[in-house]
Amino acid sequence: IKISEQLGYDFRLLKEVRRINDDQMERFVKKITDTLWVLKDKTIGVLGLAFKQNTDDVRMSPAIELCQRLQKEGATLRVHDPKAKAVLSNVTYVDDMNAVPEGCDALVVATEWDEFKELDLERARKALSHPILFDGRNLFDRVEMEQLGWVYKSVGR
């Protein structure tokens, strides 16, 4: 967008894509706050920080923006990413994805890493104070998750 503006071109399509992405983030944050009511003093586990899977790149990462918004609302975060590290302050970084849910009120999938599909769902469900999973990447099947005892909230479906 900046480059097109510098060249004197109004790249409306790209601006609309950005607006749609911003709206998607708003809906996801609203889904989390509507479910948990208040984020202040809640502990939320977050799986994924990188912009996309198989990279440590966090520039323009929706996961980072999500974490910052959750923190702004007063949430405490426990986070794991297979490659991206130490980009947020005042969070607990967890090396083992299966340990992230320990002591959390809910779990969020924020980046689409294939290994997150192998999450020990039974262990995670038991570790959480409430078995709530916000799946921002639609990694799991809603019907299957509900059969396993989860409150399952996904995006865009």
Task: Report the half-sphere exposure of 45 (CA within 13 A, side-chain side).
Answer: 29
Ranking 12-21, 98-107, 137-146 by mean pLDDT, the lowest is 12-21
Per-residue model confidence (pLDDT) at position 71: 97
**Which of 21-25, 27-31, 71-75 has the lowest average pLDDT?**
21-25
Query: Strand 43-47 relative to strand 106-109: parallel, antiparallel, unpaired?
Result: parallel
The pTM (predicted TM-score) of the whole model is 0.86
What is the share, in percent, of the chain residues with pLDDT greater than 90? 69
Q: Which structure tokens are listed for 89?
A: 């302050």
Residue 151, phi-psi category: left (phi > 0), alpha (psi -120 to 50), beta (remainder): beta
Say what the alpha-carbon torsion angle 20, 48, 64, 19 is, to the nearest 10 degrees: 0
DSSP H helices, the chain, are 2-6, 12-36, 62-72, 121-127, 142-147
3 or 120, greater pLDDT? 120
Task: Let me know: does 134 contact 107? Beta carbons within 8 Å.
Answer: yes
CA end-to-end span of the chain:
29
Report helix angle 12-36 to 62-72, nearest 10: 40
